[in-house]
Structure 1
């Protein structure tokens, strides 16, 4: 019934082309080490591409493909040695019958043990770049540990130090005298690692590193440096799946004293480009690709991934996506042709939904496959709930999808519709009818409204008509609402009450889709005092664009629930901080300011936004708002504050 959010086994987005390109690159650079980056936002499909890459190497005995998930080892004391140890262990498991591999792997692991021992010893002058002590430092640890056995102290047992001394002693006995300086350590490890590859008898070692952008900065940087310093040898290839913006953020956090830039490119970007030689960026889905994706997801869900009709449709989609700029997005004619002229009811409904929601869903999710899938999952979940409660026949998927688009991307608009539907005797709000008719048939609608307005006025219903006109006028100022009203299906003569009921099943504080718990926690911090907001800086910076929008919508909704606005409401400081870190939200913040009830506002409304309105156009529009506030007369406190802030801005 529902769509799995894990790496997909079926390539619905034709990402196989990216995987095949990476395979060709690896095959053509057999004698050279290479690092390849597969970049994209969270939910863009990086892990799916990496799984396809792994599958491409399956069955090739000359290529050994290993999988390393950085997030799995989050929280380990020394991520560098964990990376090294994991890869050596995987090599040993891949060649279980080779005595030579076992022997050399044991030698390499002993050196890794020395590295771990050195890290745990404490008090070393570790280098910032590698975190590796010199040979003399480890030798000093050994001598200290050996002598310590005679007079053990209470806080460390003799057994602990004996084991440490034995490990350090084993290494020192086997170590080359020339290994006293740091470069020699690195060269020795690389030499031993190459011997291990020779023993494994492979033409190429391919290590796939996934979920690196989910790690804390320290872990992400340690993983990348382990790859470059120790494992970057001939016949090795590393394919790293990560959002490059998150890795740049990790670089800035790990090296806070870096200057801001080096010419046109930041130091953080230069660092990333040094570590990753060949970047592949997974593009966001365009409108046509979104339509194809939605259709395929729903068709696969209805028919099954092994159904011959679905496979025929998938082949047609792949052919269509070869030239996405020419794509019609799997229109009905293409689907009918792929399925031999007979379109199952479920697929027909998938076509209807994809045609209707594509534009807004593509723009709202910024073409992110995971966000699209979550929307569809929520859609199917709600229809299933309606069926279980016994009113499934009152719910039509296309109508539900349209209502959910408003809920997800314009929550205030949705709340108005929900309120109007709940209070209308038939669940068919006059405002919705009037707005849709105005958008679809502006001339006819205006004539009808004039006639109906005159009739209602004669019946003494001028107050109701005025309320309807006010809401329609407000919606008519918003291009999103206009596009929504123009979408099929029309909601005229549709009882919206069952749709409102089934979409009000939110269990978290976040609107629309089921939200991750870390977002709920962040919202609570941003609703807190200033110090708590400042403490959430790292979490804010790690948000993806869709997540930042979700947090913004939640904060906005909770702020607007306040009855009093004379003092600054909780959440405003958090909202400002969020928009400052994610400047793409500036326009949405400006719309929020416009929505504030002028008659209730205190001085904070004029003075709180300077930090986040950095875009010149947004700043100019905010000055227009301040000017309007300074000229109004119903709120003297706001008038005076807005006048003062506007004058300060002019002087600045």
Structure 2
């Protein structure tokens, strides 16, 4: 039904060329430290490229490829230590029977322990110098105290306390024995020897999702690469958005000047760390069209299917030189597949229609395009479950979704205008204007009347009218379609279908029932004449209006109308009570307790409302409501006694 929105080794965009270039570069510089950046916006495909690089090295026993996701380890205290420990553990797993690797790994991990110790010692040093406890100091002392107290009162002695103090002194002295430069130099030598002992020709560390990390975690990971791990035989392939990394640098080093020469300090930092940058290109029209086609076909056929495999191979050939054509050629598809299946035909047709706007609106971002297609397929599936899938044309749905995604004013106007009859007057005018320069023919308005060619001056006053004209030119035209099922399945806000829904002749009555108490009373006879189905429609519209109210401290517009509906049509009393019970108690004003005695005339409904009233009187979250409910209960009790 949908295509998973995560990294994948299934290459629909021919990013394999980038991955192979990275692999070749790593192989050519195998004895030298190397850092490669795979840059691109969120959703550009960086993780997929890293996965392809990992796959390329999977069968080489003398290459260790380690995948590190900084985002997953964001909660750890020391990102540097976690990165190094991850690499060492992978080396030990790669050579599980080697005693030399095991012993050398222990030496490297001891250096990692020193890093952690030095970090904590810094906190203790600050405490000793200032007398102000650092958070790390408090945490460590708390753990030591809990450990000591856990032995029982009989074990807490002066000797134990003295041992704790002595241990702290040794802790600080151990850290102070070696300077940080000496420790770093020793670590680099021991780490290089670990690679040699493991008989690893190339360590390839794939660092992903740094641009999702908090700034301090991103910088710590990059610093670990620069200071500790940049040794011979080690290569780092870092997938990140340059803009986010620059932001992290600015946040981590706020006192740096803004710029030096033609570039910012943040940019210089990144360029010093990354030796070879790759920037994933945004998708153009041809690539977007091919990508949409493949996603739509993938919704019908599996990845392993013969049709999809052949179509992907053909797409890859076209993507080698995307500037040569608009996308997949029908004749070439026919030759490759031995005919064009209906599903592929429809996918190619739809892709050709929506690709121009989607390529521009999504700015060539694969994830945005994939989400658009997935949302469309999900909505079709929902329509199928509801039983009206046959009423939806996928091309019409895709066109409406383009407006929903990139021109919300146009979509809202179309939704409002089509709510009553299914046809939008403004949409008919727009499409007539777009068609007029080429046809010059008479057009029909939404009510069927023949008119002359529309002019630019008759267009609606939308802020994005130029985009709307480009959109209206896409086939198929919408003016003659019943748009209500499309608006229903695309609505993501209750206001599209709810209080604003047009019910034709009932609109005037709904307006009266949203008016003053006098207007509601005058409409009572009209309410009483409603058929059951009409009463339900009016009730639903009023209920939606009240539900959408932002302020429930004051009586919302429509409450009096709901009461009158239930008074005239007793079958609505139970739905009304359920609605009142569902309103958030903490936000309700005193108005909620009164006026229901003549409404809830059914015995069981009245009894249940009395229980609700008691609940309001017993709660303490809303004092005004509590007082009003208590007063209402006392008044009701007096009436019963009299």
Structure 2 unaligned blocks of 5 or more: 127-139, 149-154, 497-547, 551-642
- 2:354 pairs with 1:367: no
How many angstroms does 1:389 deviate by? 0.6
- 2:437 pairs with 1:442: yes
- 1:270 matched residue in structure 2: 268
CA RMSD in angstroms comes to 3.4
How many angstroms does 1:254 deviate by? 0.3
Name the SS of the counterpart of 1:314 in structure 2. helix
- Select which of 424, 427, 448 maps to 1:429: 424
How many angstroms does 1:441 deviate by? 2.9
- 2:467 matched residue in structure 1: 480
- 1:51 matched residue in structure 2: 51
Distance in 2 separating the partners of 1:152 and 1:244: 55
**CA displacement 1:343-370 (0-9 Å, x = unmatched):** 2222111112111110111111101111
- Check whether the contact 1:69–1:210 (CA below 8 A) recurs between aligned residues: yes
Distance in 2 separating the partners of 1:279 and 1:219: 21
TM-score (norm 1): 0.67
How many angstroms does 1:327 deviate by? 2.8
- Whose radius of gyration is greater, 1 or 2? 2
Distance in 2 separating the partners of 1:445 and 1:473: 20
How many angstroms does 1:9 deviate by? 2.9
Distance in 2 separating the partners of 1:57 and 1:443: 57
- Check whether the contact 1:476–1:482 (CA below 8 A) recurs between aligned residues: no
**CA displacement 1:502-551 (0-9 Å, x = unmatched):** 00145999xxxxxxxxxxxxxxxxxxxxxxxxxxxxxxxxxxxxxxxxxx
- 2:202 matched residue in structure 1: 204
**Structure 1 residues 203 and 438, CA gap change in structure 2 (3 angstroms):** same
- 1:500 matched residue in structure 2: 487
Distance in 1 separating the partners of 2:34 and 2:491: 51
- Check whether the contact 1:12–1:293 (CA below 8 A) recurs between aligned residues: yes
- Check whether the contact 1:288–1:329 (CA below 8 A) recurs between aligned residues: yes
- 2:123 matched residue in structure 1: 123
- Check whether the contact 2:66–2:206 (CA below 8 A) recurs between aligned residues: yes
- 2:476 pairs with 1:489: yes
How many angstroms does 1:162 deviate by? 7.9
- 2:347 pairs with 1:350: yes
Please show how residues 549-560 of structure 1 align to structure 2 within 5 Å: none
- 1:185 matched residue in structure 2: 183
How many angstroms does 1:91 deviate by? 1.4
- Check whether the contact 1:79–1:222 (CA below 8 A) recurs between aligned residues: yes
How many angstroms does 1:470 deviate by? 7.7
**CA displacement 1:170-211 (0-9 Å, x = unmatched):** x77xx9xxx743322211000010111011111111111111
- 2:251 pairs with 1:253: yes
Please show how residues 297-376 of structure 1 align to structure 2 within 5 Å: 297-340=295-338, 342-376=339-373
- 1:554 matched residue in structure 2: none
- 1:235 matched residue in structure 2: 233
How many angstroms does 1:398 deviate by? 0.8
- Select which of 376, 379, 383 maps to 1:382: 379
Name the SS of the counterpart of 1:37 in structure 2. strand
Name the SS of the counterpart of 1:303 in structure 2. coil
Name the SS of the counterpart of 1:3 in structure 2. coil
**Structure 1 residues 20 and 275, CA gap change in structure 2 (3 angstroms):** same
- Check whether the contact 1:213–1:243 (CA below 8 A) recurs between aligned residues: yes
Distance in 2 separating the partners of 1:506 and 1:401: 19
Please show how residues 70-89 of structure 1 align to structure 2 within 5 Å: 70-89=70-89
Name the SS of the counterpart of 2:459 in structure 1. helix
Please show how residues 562-577 of structure 1 align to structure 2 within 5 Å: none
Distance in 2 separating the partners of 1:379 and 1:389: 15
- 2:109 pairs with 1:112: no
**Structure 1 residues 477 and 167, CA gap change in structure 2 (3 angstroms):** closer
- 2:402 matched residue in structure 1: 405
**Structure 1 residues 46 and 498, CA gap change in structure 2 (3 angstroms):** same
TM-score (norm 2): 0.68
- Select which of 393, 412, 416 maps to 1:415: 412
Distance in 1 separating the partners of 2:187 and 2:21: 31
The 10-residue stretch of structure 1 (158-167 or 317-326) with the greater mean CA deviation from structure 2? 158-167
**CA displacement 1:353-396 (0-9 Å, x = unmatched):** 11111011111110111111100010001111111111110001
**Structure 1 residues 191 and 469, CA gap change in structure 2 (3 angstroms):** closer
- 2:11 pairs with 1:4: no
Distance in 1 separating the partners of 2:161 and 2:437: 86
**Structure 1 residues 52 and 454, CA gap change in structure 2 (3 angstroms):** closer
- Check whether the contact 1:100–1:199 (CA below 8 A) recurs between aligned residues: yes
**CA displacement 1:236-281 (0-9 Å, x = unmatched):** 0000010011000000000001101111111100000111111001
- Check whether the contact 1:438–1:446 (CA below 8 A) recurs between aligned residues: no
Distance in 2 separating the partners of 1:454 and 1:476: 28
Distance in 1 separating the partners of 2:440 and 2:391: 28
Name the SS of the counterpart of 1:35 in structure 2. strand
- Check whether the contact 2:407–2:464 (CA below 8 A) recurs between aligned residues: no
Name the SS of the counterpart of 1:373 in structure 2. helix
Please show how residues 499-518 of structure 1 align to structure 2 within 5 Å: 499-505=486-492
How many angstroms does 1:125 deviate by? 6.9
**Structure 1 residues 114 and 477, CA gap change in structure 2 (3 angstroms):** closer
- 2:510 matched residue in structure 1: none
Name the SS of the counterpart of 2:72 in structure 1. helix
Distance in 2 separating the partners of 1:455 and 1:390: 36
**Structure 1 residues 494 and 448, CA gap change in structure 2 (3 angstroms):** closer
- Check whether the contact 1:117–1:164 (CA below 8 A) recurs between aligned residues: no
- 1:616 matched residue in structure 2: none
**Structure 1 residues 395 and 448, CA gap change in structure 2 (3 angstroms):** closer
- Select which of 387, 390, 393 maps to 1:393: 390
Distance in 2 separating the partners of 1:167 and 1:298: 62
Name the SS of the counterpart of 1:68 in structure 2. strand
How many angstroms does 1:165 deviate by? 7.4
How many angstroms does 1:474 deviate by? 2.4
Distance in 2 separating the partners of 1:318 and 1:329: 11
Distance in 2 separating the partners of 1:371 and 1:120: 44
Structure 1 unaligned blocks of 5 or more: 127-140, 458-464, 510-560, 564-652
Name the SS of the counterpart of 1:59 in structure 2. coil
- 2:592 matched residue in structure 1: none
